[in-house]
Amino acid sequence: MAFIKCSKTQTALLSMLFCLTVAFFPTLSRGLANEEPGTALPNMATGPIQEQQSFSTSNSDPNDSVQPENPKEIPETNPNSQPDEDEAEDPNSPALSIDSEENNDDFSPKVSTLITINNAYEKILSPEIITTEGLVHYSTLRRKREDIIIAARELEKLNPAVLMSLSREQRIAFWINTYNVCTLKLIVDNYPIEPKLYMIFYPNNSIMQITGDWRKKHFFDIQGLEYTLEEIEQEFLLARHNDPRILFTLSYASLGGAMLRNEPYVSDKLNEQLDEQVRRYLMSPRGLQIDKEKGIVHLSNLFTMLRHKEFFLSSEYASIKKFRDRKPEEQAWLNFSRNYLPEEDIRYLETATFDIKFMKYDWLLNETP
């Protein structure tokens, strides 16, 4: 073994280095033994260890997070706890204002709209405008058309959910009144009616003289959509309520059609109003006439026009076991009519031999003289 010769100075330096190593090494060893795995050693360039944050870059749990030195500084939060009264949200805060806008009248049904409509109907369908014979003072209605304007405006805003919440009788009454008021509006908007040269087969003063098909080409804003008179009659009334009495409530603004009532239809007496309408119509010269000498029963063309024949055939009156020697549509018409005629006329229909003929429909405007 070879020995390196050192000077006294070198020997002294080596002895000092050895002593420092022996003195420092146990302290470092104890420190390393007490450290948790993954803890970084002090970085003397940036400061002491307590100011450094250590993050694992490989095997760390993604749900782990750095904990504060003093856990008491961040209180635990209970997700089910309610905010204190002092911490409650300000009702005028922007967040709540947006929420309230979403629940405003534009998005929620307004029953008040229906009330306004019914109030307008009461003023339009009144003795001031309509006589007991069902004739209309159109010149007066034209001067006082404010109620028609109000009704039209509110009908456009009406929420369908309001009508869906009504009873069957209330819906029938609403749509009959709406049909008749829309017909009155059509006349008022074109009053006085100017005759057309090419409409020579109709009276000069008639709804048939209005430009465009009055049932299919004129639109009324209801529930945010546009409907024709034909759609109101067929879709909202006849298709949903298989009751032929409804046919005798709808005014076609003509002397041949149903007589207008000078009151609105209402749910609590709807059945009585419907029966009275049919009885009045059939007892008038425009509805039904019996010529016993000639053996002819004259019926209004209302029974067969505008798809009404098909409506009677689909009703319960087509299956009643009376008048079974008649055509199906005649059987339905007679079964229906006998409920509203005097006993003498009923006996004649049930026992006599007769033909059924239809009267010419009178399209003259239902206007007071």
User: How does pLDDT run across 270-311, given as a tens digit for each residue?
Assistant: 999 999 999 999 999 999 999 999 999 999 999 999 999 999
| Beta-sheet strand order (sheet of 355-358) | 288-291, 296-299, 355-358
Task: Please give the Cα distance from 240 to 172 (Å, whole number).
Answer: 9
Q: What is the pLDDT of residues 131-156, one digit of tens each?
A: 999 999 999 999 999 999 999 999 99
Domain definitions of the chain by residue range? 111-269, 282-358
Nearest to 154 by CA among 219, 108, 220: 220
pLDDT computed for residue 66 by the predictor:
42
pLDDT computed for residue 45 by the predictor:
40
Which range has the worst mean pLDDT, 13-27, 186-200, 219-233, 265-279?
Answer: 13-27
**CB of 207 within 8 A of CB of 190?**
no
Task: Please give the Cα distance from 144 to 139 (Å, whole number).
Answer: 9
pLDDT computed for residue 110 by the predictor:
83
Burial class (CB in 10 A: 0-12, 13-18, 19+), 29: exposed
**CB of 289 within 8 A of CB of 347?**
no
Q: With cut-offs at 50, 70 and 90, classify the pLDDT of residue 20.
A: low
| Phi, psi for residue 248 in degrees, rounded to 5 | -95, 15
Nearest to 187 by CA among 250, 254, 122, 117: 254
Average per-residue pLDDT in the chain? 82
**Number of residues assigned to the chain:** 369
Please name the amino acid found at residue 301. Answer: N
- Stronger pLDDT, 272 or 45, i.e. the higher one: 272
**CB of 270 within 8 A of CB of 329?**
no
Q: Which helix (H) or strand (E) holds 118?
A: helix 111-124
Provide, rounded to the nearest whole percent, the portion of the chain with pLDDT above 90: 69
Please name the amino acid found at residue 324. Answer: R
Provide, rounded to the nearest whole percent, the portion of the chain with pLDDT above 70: 71
The SS3 of residue 289 is strand
**CB of 317 within 8 A of CB of 335?**
yes
Q: Which helix (H) or strand (E) holds 222?
A: strand 220-222
Which range has the worst mean pLDDT, 58-67, 253-262, 263-272?
Answer: 58-67
Model confidence at 83: pLDDT above 60: no
